[in-house]
Amino acid sequence: MRNIYENIEFIKNNINLIKNGSAAVDIVVVTKTFPCQDILEALKCGIKHIGESRMQEALPKFQQLGLSLSGINKHFIGHLQSNKAKKAVENFDLIQSLDSIKLAYDLNRHAKIIGKTQNCLIEVKVSQEITKTGVGLSNVKKFYKQCQMIPNILIKGLMVITPHCNFEDSRFYFKLVYNLFKDIKESFDAVGFDILSMGMSEDYKIAIEEGSNMIRIGSAIFGDRDRENK
Ligand SMILES: *Cc1c(COP(=O)(O)O)cnc(C)c1O
């Protein structure tokens, strides 16, 4: 039997153990593939951030949840195609998966139309797997600089998905991205560049030890989803 409340408390407790009550780590509850009842239950536990990865799944759920989502930050965490940029800007507070300049300009255009500054994270690619999306590690600084010139998007930080690997390899990748995060913060006038989104159900504790301040958790809260949907 799963218990959403207990699972969330367990994760919060782990965060406190690692951080010793210092500096906060935000939990983004990843609700993809899980129904609205589950989301409502997580919200009752005081969750303030939810993450979805597919537009066609997210929007009907948001509509159904209606006012229950007021004050809740909605994160887009999946690969975003340019033809979905408009819907993303209209419906999401933070787009964690910015991975190309073309997408940045598409988001900018739609944000401008509705008078919004769209908050985004740059998705960093740390693995050589050809299927992985994201901006290659060595190109992220240049990409950040280019984005600084785009008026209606604001880069709030970095996001990384580590490849499936053992914990020590994950730690290695988390360290790389943390160093890059610090480097950008120090090298540029990086106003509002404060979010380091790394860590999922399996590796969030290591990610926090390595400096993450935002974790994205699905299965450790809701139970295992169909592997194919991952
Ligand atoms: C699905 C997903 C998560 C959550 O994964 P779990 O292993 O279920 O915690 C986190 N981040 C991204 C980008 C995802 O697609």
pLDDT tens-digit series, residues 107-162: 999 999 999 999 999 999 998 776 778 999 999 999 999 999 999 999 999 999 99
The residue whose CA is least distant from atom 10 of ligand 1 is 216
What phi and psi, each to the nearest 5 degrees, are found at residue 202?
-80, -25
Mean pLDDT of 5-24: 93
Residue nearest to atom 5 of ligand 1 (CA): 218
User: Among candidates 130, 132, 155, 159, which has minimal Cα distance to 144?
Assistant: 155
CA of 161 from ligand 1 middle (Å) equals 8
pLDDT in tens, 41-74: 999 999 999 999 999 999 999 999 999 999 999 9
Tell me the chain's radius of gyration from C-alpha atoms. 17
Domains of the chain plus CATH, in order, are: 4-222 (3.20.20.10)
Q: Please give the average per-residue pLDDT across 180-204, as a whole number.
A: 95
Residues in the chain: 230
Q: What does the alpha-carbon distance between residue 63 and residue 57 come to, in Å, rounded to a whole number?
A: 11
Confidence of residue 224 (pLDDT cuts 50, 70, 90): confident
Cβ–ligand 1 distance for 201 under 6 Å, the answer yes
Burial of 108-144, coded b for 16+ CB within 10 Å and e otherwise, reads bebbbeeeeebbbbbbbbbbeeeebebbebeebbebb
Ligand 1 centre distance from Cα of residue 30 (Å): 6
User: Which pLDDT value is given to residue 226?
Assistant: 59
pTM: 0.95
Atom from ligand 1 closest to the CA of residue 161: 13
Q: What is the mean pLDDT of residues 21-39?
A: 94
pLDDT cut 70: percent of the chain above it: 96
Ligand 1 within 6 A of 207 CB?
Answer: no
Q: One-letter amino acid identity for 169?
A: D
Closest atom, ligand 1, to C-alpha of 225: 8
pLDDT of res. 229: 46
Q: What is the pLDDT of residue 23?
A: 80
Residue 159 parent element (H or E): strand 153-160
Helices (H), the chain: 4-19, 36-44, 55-65, 85-91, 101-113, 140-148, 167-187, 204-209, 219-222
